[in-house]
Amino acid sequence: MPELPEVETIARALREGGRSGRPLTGLRIQQAHVYWPRSIQAPSPDAFPTRIAGQVINEIGRRGKFIVMQLSRDALLVHLRMSGDLRVEEAEPRTGKLPLARQHDRVEICFEGGVFLFFEDTRKFGRMWLVPQADEVLEVLGPEPFSPDLDASKFFEHLQKRKRQIKPLLMDQHFLAGMGNIYTDEALHLAGIHPLTLSNQLELSAAGRLLGAIREVLAEGIRQNGASIDWVYRGGSFQNNFRVYQRTGEKCPVCGQTIERILVGQRSTHFCPFCQPLR
């Protein structure tokens, strides 16, 4: 399930080439096909292909868990949700044979020069937006975890203003952009904070520790090209560094206590009862 490091890895590959594809920046879109209309959030699925045709991709980046592509006139945003991925393929140089859409491909974008971008999404939760201003969609997001504007004291202030369980709060994209189930569990363990701790109970020192832990696990995740879980996202190796995530019943790498699994805000949550006591 793509979180910030996975989305960052995918955005980089689209921007700079890598994996199978070559860079998409600078390419002009010829046409598009929508195979699953609900994958298009805006404009209407019918209007999408007409409106995107002819536009050139000028920039590719990331904001929270969104992939952000700046086109000639519009912005193309992609949220991969649970099972989404973007795949670049090229026509056979010799025969000119074109790539075929696969079973789980929901949207296909064709570029001049025989390059294709497929939005594959087994579970159909992912969405695309084609809008004049990216901010229409992105403005509701909380700060980027790596934003220089976000320091320990500001983070502490934000936590103080709310009275929520820390884990669901960290996963709330309006509060902080980019965290998902994996990196939240990992960051809370690294910071030694129980997932049910109320946000306004955290002291300044704990807030600073938490922000540092969030940045550390995200940076390590990016360094390892994300985590490969289940059959979805592939190519990363951060799953080999999980401290607690999906390690229920195993020993805590720090203290040796048995890692527990509880439900927090409808999400499975892994933590060490010794390293992360609830006070």
Partner DNA sequence: CATCAACCCTGAGAGC
Partner DNA sequence: TGCTCTCAGGGTTGAT
| Catalytic residue list | 2-3, 65, 267
Which residues 141-170 are close enough to bind DNA by CB under 7 A? 162-165, 168
**45 counts as binding DNA under rule CB under 7 A:** no
Q: Do the bridges between strand 115-121 and strand 105-111 make them parallel or antiparallel, or are there none, so unpaired?
A: antiparallel
The answer to whether 98 and 91 are in contact (CB under 8 A) is yes
Per CB under 7 A, does 254 bind DNA? no
Q: Return the SS3 of 250.
A: coil
**How far is C-alpha 225 from the chain's CA centre?**
12
- If binding is defined by CB under 7 A, does position 198 make contact with DNA? yes
The three-state secondary structure class of 245 is: coil
SS3 assignment, position 47: helix
79 lies in the binding site for DNA (CB under 7 A): yes
115 vs 141, beta carbon nearer DNA? 141
Residue 38 binds DNA (CB under 7 A): yes
Query: Which residue lies nearer to DNA by CB, 123 or 251?
Result: 123
Task: Tell me if 51 sits within 8 A of 43, measured CB to CB.
Answer: yes
CB of 39 vs DNA, minimal distance in Å: 9
Segment contacting DNA by CB under 7 A, of 44-52, 123-131, 204-212, 218-226: 123-131
Give the nearer residue to DNA in terms of CB position, either 28 or 87. Answer: 87
* Nearer CB in complex with DNA: 49/168: 168
Q: For the purposes of burial, counting CB atoms within 10 Å of the CB of 65, is it exposed (0-12), middle (13-18) or buried (19 or more)?
A: buried
Q: Give start and end residues of each alpha helix (H) in 107-180.
A: 135-138, 152-161, 166-171
- Give backbone dihedrals phi and psi of 85, rounded to 5 degrees, phi first: -155, 160
Residues that bind DNA (CB under 7 A): 1, 3, 38, 64-65, 79, 81-83, 103-104, 122-125, 162-165, 168, 171, 173, 180-182, 198, 230-231, 246, 265-268
